[in-house]
Structure 1
Amino acid sequence: MRRLASALLALGLLVAVPTTALAHDVLEQTDPADGTSITQLPKEVTLTFSEAPLSIGSQVVVTGPSGPVSSGPPTTDGRTVTQALLLTAPAGDYTVSYRVTSDDGHPVTGTFSFHAAIGLDGSKAAAGAPVHVKPVTGSEDAQNSLFVPILLTVVTTVLLLAVGGYLVLRSREADRNGRG
């Protein structure tokens, strides 16, 4: 009985540990932030993810009033992906579309928008220009998907501990009854 209880506890640990790694990476933060109006267009756009994405297959396309203004490929440093912008980028509304490969090999995609009053080229946008906000796709689903693996881990661990505890107590009771 003790061997069975030990085996169940070991199985519980094997099941509990990997399930937390099943969740996909999630975009946690952008700079500029989604839906904001900023004074000066930055020289680069940064995206911060919940886990370090793989640098292979990363794509970040920044599109402004004059079209795409991405300069070169994006760079990855830990959890942050950075996309440089052309120095000729004008003021106005910008949309950032991204696709990165999460550390588990799955693609993470989405879009966000912001407005820059002054471009890198020194141009100025009309005051009060509207920001066309597009929701970041995939992030909410990925965050909600964490609930199921965590719940399964907790339930499985509690059940295995309960069964193991029951078997140990039953074995001790049998030992006491056998000796008396």
Structure 2
Amino acid sequence: MTALRRLVATALLITAMAMGGTAVAWAHAVRVSADPAPDATLATAPTRITATFNERLQGDFAAMTVVGPDGNLWSDGTPQVQGATVSVGVRPLGPAGSYTVNYRVTSADGHVVSGSWAFTMTVAGSGSPGPSATASTPSADRALPVWPFIVGAVAVIALGVIWSRLRRT
């Protein structure tokens, strides 16, 4: 009967630990505002693009680009992270049309959050674009591969099974 009690106590402890530890993992950053606002229609070009999140961001590895209707980059410089805000400078804009802001930031818990929004310029500007956006837009292509974690998990499980079998003999 004591073995059954130990098994139940262990199962309850593991369940309590799993339930208690998941709240942090679910608390990823969420964009709460942007300047210019999503779907905004502007007659004058902004000099800076800003996204604000519901929690502090890590400053490492932040990416933010502005891609114009011509497919070129219109963002200028390195994204700046201050608390819960990430921003990037903008070149004087060029053609009228839809500009897409792409971002990738790391939330306080280490989770990578990415997304985009668009705004429209109604009046063409005289700015010169940066390089083509296809090679510079933040993407998931540079994310960590999942296979090393799967191999590691399989190895840990295999070692546990081997250890438990050796312990029985």
Same fold (TM over 0.5): yes
| Coordinate RMSD, CA, aligned | 2.8
* Structure 2 residue 34 is the aligned partner of structure 1 residue 36: no
Structure whose CA Rg is larger: 1
Say if 2:55 is the partner of 1:51.
yes
Residue 70 (structure 1) shift:
1.0
Deviations 1:92-141 (A, max 9, x none): 2100111001111110000110102235537xxxxxxxxxxxxxxxxxxx
Flag structure 1 segments of 5+ consecutive residues without an equivalent. 1-11, 123-180
Structure ranking higher on relative contact order (CA contacts 8 Å, 6+ apart)? 1
Gaps of 5+ in 2: 1-15, 128-169
State the one-letter code of the partner of 2:81: T
Matched, 1:76 2:81: yes
Q: Aligned pair in 2 of structure 1 residues 117, 61: CA closer, same or farther (>3 Å)?
A: same
CA distance in 1 between counterparts of 2:124 and 2:33 reads 22
Amino acid at match of 1:39: A
**How many corresponding residue pairs?**
112
Q: CA deviation at 1:89?
A: 4.0
Pair 1:116 & 2:91 matched: no
**3-state secondary structure, aligned to 1:83:** strand
SS in 2 for 1:21: helix
Q: Runs in 1 of length 4+ with deviation above 4 angstroms?
A: none
Instruction: Give the C-alpha shift of residue 87 in structure 1.
Output: 2.6
User: In 2, distance between residues paired with 1:49 and 1:61?
Assistant: 17
Measure the CA separation in 1 of the matches of 2:106 and 2:39: 24
